[in-house]
Chains A and B, each alone.
Chain A
Amino acid sequence: MFLILSFVLLLSQYAYSQETRFAVDLIPENLKNGASAVVRIDRMQIDIASVNQFSLNSRRAVTVFNTSGFDAVLSAASYDPNKILTKLEARIYDASGTLIETIEQKDFYDAAAVDGISIYHDNRLKYFNYTPTKFPITIDFRYQQSIQNSTAFIPRWNPLEQHGVNIELSEYKLTYPETANVSHITYNFENYDILSANAPGTIQYSLVNYISPPEEQLEPAAHRIAPSVVAKLDRFTLVGIQGDLMDWGQFAKWQYKNLLANRDQLPETTKRKIAQLVVGIEDPEAKARVIYKYVQDNTRYISVQLGIGGWMPELASEVDRLKYGDCKGLTNYTKALLASQGIESNYAVVWAGEEKQNIDPDFTSFSGNHVILNVPFKDKEVWLECTNQRVPFGYLGSFTDNREVLLVSPNGGDIVSTVAYPDSLNITKVRAQFDVLNNGDLHGDLKITSTGINYEQRFWLTTQNIDQQSVFYKTLWPELTSLSLAAASYSDDREKIVFKEDIALINERYGITSENEMRLRLNPLAANDLVPSRYRTRTKPFEILRGSVQESEYYIKLPVGFGLQNLPDSVGIENIFGTYDLSFESLEENTIKLTRKLFIREGFYSKEKYNDYRNFMRAVQRGDKTSVILSKQ
């Protein structure tokens, strides 16, 4: 009898502790304050069984305070032929922490994982839906993945992946047997209180009671400021093939041998066709241009993610037949076409995206999400983006510029930098003649030249119709509210990377007339989005990812019979962020000349500097919006 009693007692104690664990009252007040959701537990446990396999136990419990807080729940788990879901369950708790419902594995929905890019891949999702009848509730979602035959991709720890969601506990734990050599690296730990409990065979980190600041304008990319952990097995398996991740050289050699070698064969007919295309051309770079154009004119990008972990390119001969492929396939194909004419090139793995991210030279692991081609010539090297049908030869643009990438070659590999677009060479020059008529109508003739990274903001205009071009200019020049484009012609120097626009425009009633005067904004092309938001307390540093120069010279012919008494004051500002110079000059024939130069440097700045930068941009905005009053004479 005593035994049974104590058992019951134990059971109820256990039940009690279970029930109250997720009580909303237990969330520290400062985490709960104003939150839509709070992460109670976010735990990743990775157990490496051998060089071939590992498992992931994921548990994420989130208290949700309103409908938009549901975004923090992350109610899906992925699987594929090598990644099996062995456990799947979601438990729902009410505000007091009492279990009110359990969603079992059989109640989960199944769907193809749509990435918005691939036409086909074998990733799938299991997910659950839950309609709460009242808030707050806590959703405790657990799943287990068993990864067979592959230890190349150990899940990374990115505890702050979601902006503005406060965290009670986020934990990463990785265990491994003595036989496996596991190493890891931590990033951006310095500004966070991250606890570590590493021991032989265990890597463990946690973050407790973290208040996550909301997203701020110009904040640096997560990989620059957010903490993360990347782990790897020095000896790994990728879908059955073993390899070493000791250093980049060896790894690149392995990659070449197992994923690239002998995948570059082309049919003889294609080789002959290419040979004919370049016949009579001596210069290797000129040959490469012709071949690159052939690729752009004859292929299209279609992503089909099958094959070895999505890491092996399609055979060049197959891409040749289908004329489509993903980045790996199209890059390998271009490489094969170049090689057929004796031009060697290197397959290069990169983190693509507007926010520059390096392949870490000091930590060898499976990295990168895109592939481009590096072509070395005698006195220069050229980078080719093989998935885009429009960009000029050798132009990478903001997608892959200025970052460290891994070159993969038969003899090994190297970490090298892609082409950079220095701020002082990203130039847009505008030279314009503006005529203001008596009724305020504005007629403008503009010549615009763009180089460097600024080229990519414009060069696609040639493919647009006049309506689309009008929309582009209306967005660019908000002062011209009734802009109509009278003519637009373009010249695209794809070799020198210079884009020229020649535009004629009319904007009715630009000058605001009243009684005996006209109010006129002297810079019709002023932007209105230069000033970033004001924050009572800025919490994060900020970054100007790419700098640029704008140089303008406008000749503004005032309407007949109107005159200007005083020229506005000139402006000259110079600081760590750049320079701004604006000046006005009276010329013959009732004409005012406006000269403007704005140079914004590329840079990474502390949060303390944010207000200075903002004030700089406010001054620029004010100068750009300088108005004058013309009076009838």
Chain B
Amino acid sequence: MNKILLFIVLMAFGTAHAQDDKVTFGKVSIPELEQKFYPKDSTAPAAYLYRDVRVYYDYVKSKGFVLMKEVHERIKIYSKEGLEYANQNMRYYVGGNLDEKITNIKGKTYNLNNGVVSTTELSKSGIFDEDMNKYWAQKKIALPNVREGSVVEYKYKLSSPYIRSIDEIPLQYFVPVKYQNVRIEIPEYYVFKPNVKGYLLLEPEITKGRERINFVVSYTGSGRLEGASTTSRSRSVDYATNKMKYIMRDVPALKREPLVNSMRNYLGAIKFELQYTRFPDSPLENYSTSWENVAETIYNDFYKSEIEQQKYFIDALAPKLQGVESDLEKMAIIFNHVKSKMTWNGFESVAVGDGVKKAYQEGKGDVAEINLMLLGMLKYAGLEAYPVLVSTRDNGIPVLPTIHGFNYVVVAVQFDDGVRFLDATSPFSMPNLLPDRALNWYGRVILEDGTSSTVNLIPKYSSKKIINMMVDLTENGDISGRFREQNTNHLAKKTRIEYGIKGETDFVLDLAANYDDIEISNYKIKHLSDLAKAVIQDFEIYKEDQLEVIDGKLYFEPMFFLTTKETPFKSSVRNFPVDFTYPNENKYLININIPEGYKVERLPEATTIALPDNIGSFKFKAQESPTGINVSCTITINQSVIGPNTYPLLQEFFNTIIKKQQERIVLSR
């Protein structure tokens, strides 16, 4: 985990000063209205001038504790592009037995008219309530009378019966935040662990408070002679609250960057996870405290019973394993059995929905059902196999030990020569070829006694794309010839999946479009289901206008339409690691038959460059052959995650590649 933290650049900004700049709802200052742009980011179309979020527990007589969230936000609109910030949505959960509620919505818009502040209130007609689906509803507000320069302000209360889960509180947006004060006040009975997500660095100020609950206790007597009688007595309970306060100033707007694992990993927010509850006169009830505990909880509560079920598959599986000795072979048989039997329904989950047995009968299931059934079968066959908990790329990198830190599970099988990771959710899956979504740096493997440890999921082996192209070049710039593309490992899987999803017609159309609109004919694809082999595509190509004539000489790029046209790394600064998902190699071998009557006048020089620490390399060579020219070009990336400190080198690396590929070959008569 430390390694990951090293990659994340922590941005400095004012933080955690003791005093707060409390703003009163309804009182806006003239300078706020006069301001023409946000001083620290003049291009921001809007900015949060003030955010106040308070999360606390309210004791309601008939209900007990209710989780409350009060939000007050003030936004300045600088330009017409910022007008959208005058519309706000607030989601609330309606999918359980009890609903969340949003109340006390108030909103105001302030404008400056001839130096005087004019205020327009949000009226009922500007508040909309929408049932989005079975689980979620939202209140939408449209603040009135908003124009460039306006300040809008709104507040609301959300009350939730789900007192054990505190929603993630955002701390960063795609526009800047000038000041925010986020407070969380939790009774001593509930112990949560906060986790600040993203690249904001901050420490809360922690204090303690005291609260008292007054309530009435009724006793009903049942003496034989008196009959039933009721007496009431007032009681009270004192308890402590743990208060956390985050005060932040000048939080910059989050800017998007290309080739980032997932922007969600970097958007600043605080998450809370319940660790345990401790009520008076009750034993401590553990929820999650450490990665080990989380794993153990998941294993004991969710997995054990699923893995131990065997009856449902024995009849079908046992005959297939009859007489098979080798563990590797057993694994292959079981893996194929699950893959051919099961279809993934698209749901990612760490716990099963309907359970392995029902999923098996229906032939479809979620991630946990499919992979736990696989695990159960592997163990039945006597293999040493374990579940591995994963947080997908979309779910972010789990920093805090929580159940929600995981949303995916795969299987690890131990062999003498090492571990093989399995995921049976795709028919094209192979051992050690986990889907991209699961390749989020680390996973957690759980042993049978519930103990666990981290494992690196990023593959060490390379996925290769090898292209052989043999073309005839004509004097007027047409090329035609054969094209053969081999893909291995992850790239092979990607090809198989895309081909499966699209079907050949659409797949070939997209392939042609990816190669600069070449024409493809006689298309053939091999080893689609022979997963141990590289996928091989073989076809004929045709493309016009591939050369320039200058003073009677022919100029063309040695790789034609395969030339890398632009670098993905145009931005001069980089905050987040560059993530290639897995190590890869692109190799091009091109034979060009040159038009009759021409000879080679100039070839680009051969080049080899390498990034430090064996991160990557680039080799390029063009040579004359009896019928023309042979070109070879190899780009290798050995490390899939590259930190921002190496970014300038990576940028230079790609610029060199592009420049070299664009050097022309010159033919003359």
Contact = CB atoms under 8 A, between A and B. Distances in A.
A565 B551 CA distance: 9
Interface residues of A, number: 52
A519 B555 contact: yes
Contact of A120 (B79, B130, B346, B506): B130
A36 B83 contact: no
A536 B520 CA distance: 11
A197 interface: no
B551 A390 contact: no
Contact of A322 (B144, B545, B663): B144
Interface in A384-402: 389-390
Interface string A577-593: 00000000000000000
B60 interface: no
A189 to B, nearest CB: 28
A632 interface: no
A36 B343 CA distance: 19
A389 B140 contact: no
B548 A625 contact: yes
Contact of A65 (B145, B503, B509): B503
B448 interface: no
A440 B134 CA distance: 63
B133 interface: yes
B548 A627 contact: yes
B20 interface: no
A519 B550 contact: yes
A66 B500 CA distance: 7
B64 to A, nearest CB: 32
A324 B503 contact: no
A69 B501 CA distance: 8
Contact of A300 (B86, B504, B506, B658): B86
Contact of A68 (B134, B501, B566): B501
A297 B148 contact: yes
**DSSP majority for the B interface?**
mixed
Contact of B87 (A36, A302, A389): A302
A267 interface: no
A629 B506 contact: no
B363 A628 contact: no
Contact of A111 (B80, B133, B363, B658): B133
B130 A112 contact: yes
B79 A627 contact: no
Interface string B465-505: 00000000000000000000000000000000000111111
B87 A119 contact: yes
A519 B664 contact: yes
A321 B144 contact: yes
Interface in B533-557: 544-545, 548, 550-551, 553, 555
A618 interface: yes
B146 A300 contact: yes
A13 B125 CA distance: 60
Given A133-B363, A463-B80, A324 B501 contact: no
Contact of A534 (B83, B131, B544, B551): B544
Contact of B132 (A111, A323, A618, A628): A111
B25 interface: no
Given A133-B343, A625-B548, A629-B550, A300 B505 contact: no
A119 B142 contact: yes
A247 B81 CA distance: 42
Contacts of B545: 531, 618, 621-622
A369 B134 CA distance: 31
Interface string A100-127: 0000000001111000000110000000
B145 A322 contact: yes
B502 A36 contact: yes
Given A214-B509, A618-B544, A618-B545, A324 B144 contact: yes
A28 interface: no
Contacts of B502: 36, 66-68
A191 interface: no
Nearest to B41: A465
Contacts of A629: 550-551, 553
B68 to A, nearest CB: 27
Contact of B550 (A65, A111, A533, A628): A628
Contacts of B86: 300
Interface in B382-427: none
Nearest to A122: B130
Contact of B503 (A36, A119, A302): A36
Interface string A597-619: 00000000000000000000010
B345 interface: yes
Given A133-B364, A463-B81, A323 B145 contact: yes
Given A67-B501, A110-B133, A519-B550, A119 B517 contact: no
Contacts of B142: 119, 302, 304, 322, 324
Contacts of A66: 500-503
A298 B147 contact: yes
A572 B651 CA distance: 42
A628 B550 CA distance: 6
Contacts of B509: 214
A297 B87 contact: no
Interface in A123-142: 131-134
B128 interface: yes
A225 interface: no
B501 A534 contact: no
Interface in A183-224: 214
B126 interface: yes
Contacts of A109: 133-134
A345 B561 CA distance: 56
Nearest to A465: B43
Contact of B80 (A34, A67, A390): A390
A68 B148 contact: no
A611 B127 CA distance: 56
Contacts of A67: 500-502
Contacts of A622: 545
Contacts of B519: 534, 536
A109 B95 CA distance: 13
A34 B134 CA distance: 38
B503 A68 contact: yes
A65 B507 CA distance: 13
Contacts of B144: 321-324
A566 interface: yes
Interface string A512-555: 10100001000000000001011010000000000000000000
B343 A132 contact: yes
A34 B551 contact: no
A533 B517 contact: yes
Nearest to A299: B147
A323 B146 contact: yes
A120 B132 contact: no
A275 B616 CA distance: 71
Interface in B355-380: 363-364
A323 B364 contact: no
Interface string A8-49: 000000000000000000000000001110000000000000
A467 B572 CA distance: 11
Given A119-B128, A133-B364, A621-B545, A110 B83 contact: no
Interface of A: 34-36, 65-69, 109-112, 119-120, 131-134, 214, 297-300, 302, 304, 318, 321-324, 389-390, 463, 465, 467, 481, 512, 514, 519, 531, 533-534, 536, 565-566, 618, 621-622, 625, 627-629
23 contacts: A35-B503, A36-B503, A36-B505, A66-B502, A68-B501, A109-B133, A110-B131, A112-B133, A120-B140, A131-B344, A131-B346, A132-B343, A133-B363, A298-B145, A298-B147, A299-B147, A321-B145, A323-B146, A323-B147, A465-B42, A481-B658, A531-B545, A629-B553
Interface of B: 42-43, 79-81, 83, 86-87, 120, 125-126, 128, 130-134, 140, 142, 144-148, 343-346, 363-364, 500-506, 509, 517, 519, 544-545, 548, 550-551, 553, 555, 566, 602, 658, 663-664
